[in-house]
Structure 1
Amino acid sequence: MKGVIFNILEQAVIEHLGTGVWDDLLDATGLEGAYTSLGSYPDSEIMALVGAAASAQGKTPAEILRWFGTAAIPVLAAKYPVFFVGQSDARNFLLSVNGIIHPEVRKLYSGAGCPHFRFSEQSGELIIRYNSPRKLCALAHGFIDGSAAYYREAVTVDHRSCMHDGADECALAVQWVS
């Protein structure tokens, strides 16, 4: 996993929970926490941090990943405003992930292993199909929630199928609430 994800996690934890919490997570995992944005680090390190946060907060790793995704969007908007330029709402932003955001991520961070998303409309819902060997669908769910909050919209997300339950891909149904 690219170091930029660790940097965003660190910033989100410090902004929302305090520097001491980030230090506690590093202590609990035995990790040094010196991540460079262009560096690549084992996925096990992010999962160790997520696991430590889950234990400390009395939550599941999926809940922590979802929180992180939500908290990451304002950080991403500040660091990479180009990703948000021309996107008038959360739907358009989400639909831009494969065509605009991930190609830019691959340019900026050589070797980045981005997930793949497929989109369809069904009965007024945006169906987002997520596929990644990392199986970080809870993080994707958090990004959806965070995107809606960034654009001051309200959504519900129904996780209809999941790779963690043996599905080939996750299906997240997003519905905008009026």
Structure 2
Amino acid sequence: MKAVIINCLESMISEGYGKPKWEATLVNAGLPGNTRFLASQDIDDRVAMKIFDATCTTLNISKRQASEAFGDYWVNEFCQRIYKAYFRGSKTARELLLKMDQIHENVTMNIESARPPRFGYKWKDDNTLLMEYRSGRGMIDYLVGLVQGVGKHFRENLRVRKLSESQLEITFPA
């Protein structure tokens, strides 16, 4: 996993709860509290997942709460600082979500060893999208939070339901 994901988590925790909580999260994950990651650095998926799990322990929140908080922060804070260009041209949550696979491909095209999740799309009906999540990382719960964050960004009340470990159902407002 690219460290930019963990950098976002660090920002979310440090800004929302204070730097000592981020350091405690690292310690709870079995790392030194002063560990730093370069954005393009590869982090072993197991280490990254330990950091995400430690977030729940440190902040005393559930995985669902952590997933929703991370997704909201990623879309509405972090991406607005470094990936804002990818939001241009999208006027709705539907438009942005349907571009996510292409965005991941574009962002990681020239990054050696990048293995971003990939997405497939199938329409159930005019307002219901089945979004396929293709990744061995098992982070679909975080995708739920990201999709909810996209809805918040566009001020749309999306209904997001996890159907399996590889598929979401997203219902857009009519």
TM-score of the two chains, using structure 1 as the length reference: 0.87
CA displacement 1:41-72 (0-9 Å, x = unmatched): 11122211111121233333344233212211
CA displacement 1:135-170 (0-9 Å, x = unmatched): 1101111110111111111111111122xxxxxxx2
Are 1:133 and 2:139 matched, yes or no? no
1:176 corresponds to which letter in structure 2? Answer: F
Q: Which consecutive residues of structure 2, in runs of 5 or more, have no partner in the other structure?
A: none
State the alpha-carbon separation in 2 of the partners of residues 73 and 18 from structure 1.
21
1:175 corresponds to which letter in structure 2? Answer: T
State the alpha-carbon separation in 2 of the partners of residues 161 and 107 from structure 1.
28
Which residue does the alignment assign to 2:80? 77
2:114 corresponds to which letter in structure 1? Answer: A
State the alpha-carbon separation in 1 of the partners of residues 90 and 75 from structure 2.
14
Are 1:21 and 2:17 matched, yes or no? no
Are 1:152 and 2:155 matched, yes or no? yes
What is the DSSP-based 3-state SS (H/G/I as helix, E as strand, rest coil) of the residue aligned with 2:158?
Answer: strand
Which residue does the alignment assign to 1:105? 107
Q: How big is the alpha-carbon RMSD for the aligned residues of Structure 1 and Structure 2?
A: 1.7
- Deviation >3 Å, runs of 4+: 57-63
Q: Paired residues, what number? A: 170
State the alpha-carbon separation in 2 of the partners of residues 87 and 108 from structure 1.
24
The range that moved more, 11-20 or 77-86, is 11-20
TM-score of the two chains, using structure 2 as the length reference: 0.89
State the alpha-carbon separation in 1 of the partners of residues 52 and 163 from structure 2.
23
The range that moved more, 113-122 or 57-66, is 57-66
- The alignment-based identity, stated in percent, is 25
